Structure 1
Amino acid sequence: MPRPASPLIRYDSVISTSLEIIDAEGLEAFSLPRLARALNVRAPSLYHHFADKAEILRGVARAIVVETRMPDSRTTPNWIEWFVALSLNFRHAVLQHRNAAPVLLRFMPRDVLIRTYEQSARFLTAVGVPADQCVLLLDGLDKLTLGAAIAEAAKDPDEAGELFGTADPESEPTLANAVAQNRMSTEEVFAETVRSFLRGAAPYVPADAPPPDGLAGRTVADLRPSEAS
């Protein structure tokens, strides 16, 4: 039997198909036999290319993260709004694949994210953040952004976009009133949370300090580890 002109199992096809299955059917439905059927191959054949299911899920997590777009400094007025935009872009990338969000908790591709951390650390230093304070800001942003995205993705579909939507006016009147008075969407609340964190963690940096240049239209995948801000 002649060999096919191109391999039946390609890395990018396996990862994209895996993500499609998880998006459409849920993480619980994903398995190597299910993936093999979608690829029209035998499940054991996958082991010639991947050590196990976990390796495929690592690729899925990477595929989600590299979709994150770097903000356009031409449309972000200052350093805080640049980080707000970056955080929103990451949140959007995760929420595009809600069913796959738990994969990020276990298989977050730190080797990819280190590119943004290095670029961000150089940028923070340039606007006046002392070296011994950079980790505080980077780790705080990391936890805020990932935590908020995972929490939003984990909501039931009928609760998506709601904040404390289950508050009962009878048993939780104060909370229910606060929810009724709130005029911000979940995205707006998240953005303001990031702003508040940055203002509080780095009050010595001028609010009008400019954003970094040269990253418009690029994604996390485009950054090189050695690239300066």
Structure 2
Amino acid sequence: MLSLILAASLASSAAPDGLIRHYVRSNRDGSEAENIVHFRPSRENVAVYKWSSKCTTAAYVTAQMDTAAWEPKALDAGKVAKDGSQAKFGRIDLDPATRTLSAWADLPPGRMSDTTTLPQGMPWFLFDYDLGDLNAYLQEVKPETDLMFAFALIWPESADFLTHMATIHAAHRGIEDHDGRPARRFDLHFISGKDGRGTLWTDPVTGAILEAEASVPNHPGMSDFRLKLERTQLGGQEAWEKLLKAHYGNCPA
């Protein structure tokens, strides 16, 4: 009996499919492109690696998901260290009772911190996390109807470092052809907060994001937003660690 309980526990926390998903984030016209890599080392955890070129500073942000709502309960901001580990420099925490987000980050000008309050009755996701947390939610819930969620946003160049950016109504439009393959389509309407529109396409089987675009940016210097799946990679945790170590693996001394 103990072995069965242990096996069930391990199965519930194991990486959902072991896939590493490679995306490109850019403006909708393809400019300002950056590589965005999603991986779920377990059902409860999400890791996102963002890079423009090897041997230069790359973001490495992790999230811990609340498995009841499949929303983040905490995120650790960091960058890829020389050995491929995560060098942390900030954190976001959710108080579920009050729906208050608290964030801090140690940036070159000094420590920045802020709080914001999120709406009740819907999950929230961090827009500048490049949909890593939303991707986990969609893979778990696999929605086939309209849904509502909140976007929070970290914007270091603003006096409001952390905001409830917008509440999103995702209108389900069914399955359609998208780039030669079936995709479930949601039309995104920013119904409170920052005004915007967008579209989300997900895999009908896995729920994973195939492409998303919006009329508003999620990082300074961008004019709008697109995230598109380029390829998937097998290998699970071992391949993920190898990928991160390779970021500084063959750099000039």
Asked whether the two chains share a fold, i.e. TM above 0.5, the reply is: no
TM-score of Structure 1 vs Structure 2, range by shorter chain:
0.3 to 0.5
Higher strand share: 2
Structure number, greater radius of gyration: 1
TM-score (norm 1): 0.33
Higher helix share: 1
TM-score (norm 2): 0.31
